[in-house]
Amino acid sequence: MAYRVLIVDDSPAMRTFVRRVIDLSGFELSQCFEASNGGEALELLRNEWVDAILTDINMPEMDGQEFLRRLSQDELLRSIPAIVISTDATAHRIASMASLGARGYVTKPFLPETLRAELERTLGVPCD
């Protein structure tokens, strides 16, 4: 089965990198959407269904915290698993994002297999 993934990050370079890493990892991707902040992501999610969301925290206009908060308040969208990708590996931040509904957390720098494993875990993909 191939999956539809949304990457939310204000850095076009980082979005390109995450997409590339997903490809390199061998994760089966059918479609990849991109948004540069939480507001843009919510707008996109009105029209496109995705299986998983990968989101940064620090973004202009609507940051990752507010984005997760809005997702959790939406009856339909709250079922989409969101994984945070961040440089911030402090216990405080990880706990804070989990409390807002993040189902996974990947700390930069990461290996392609780490991202794949986190995507598969949150999506409930059975191990090979």
Partner 1 sequence: MTETVIRQALRDSVNEVLERMFFVETQGECADPECAEPAGAAPADEIAAALTFQGEPPGALLLRLTSGAARQIAADFLGIDEAEVSDVQTSEVVRELANMICGSVLSRVESAAAFHLAAPRMVPPSAEIAGSLSNTRYCVLLSNGRLTVNIGTGIPICPQPAQSAC
- Tell me which residues touch partner 1 (CB under 8 A): 11-14, 16-17, 20, 58, 60, 86-93, 107-111
* Other Cβ atoms closer than 10 A to 47: 7
77 close to 45: Cβ distance less than 8 angstroms: yes
- What is the closest distance, in whole angstroms, from the C-beta atom of residue 90 to partner 1 in the complex? 6
Q: Which is nearer to partner 1, 40 or 88 (CB)?
A: 88
| Closer CB to partner 1, 26 or 76, in the complex | 26
Least Å distance, CB 21 to partner 1, is 9
**Nearer residue to partner 1 within complex by CB, 10 or 78:** 10
Structure tokens at 95: 């706990």
Those residues whose C-beta lies under 8 Å from the C-beta of residue 8, and which sit 6 or more positions away, are 34, 35, 36, 37, 38, 40, 41, 53, 54, 55, 56, 59, 64, 67
Closest distance to partner 1 from the beta carbon of 87 (Å): 2
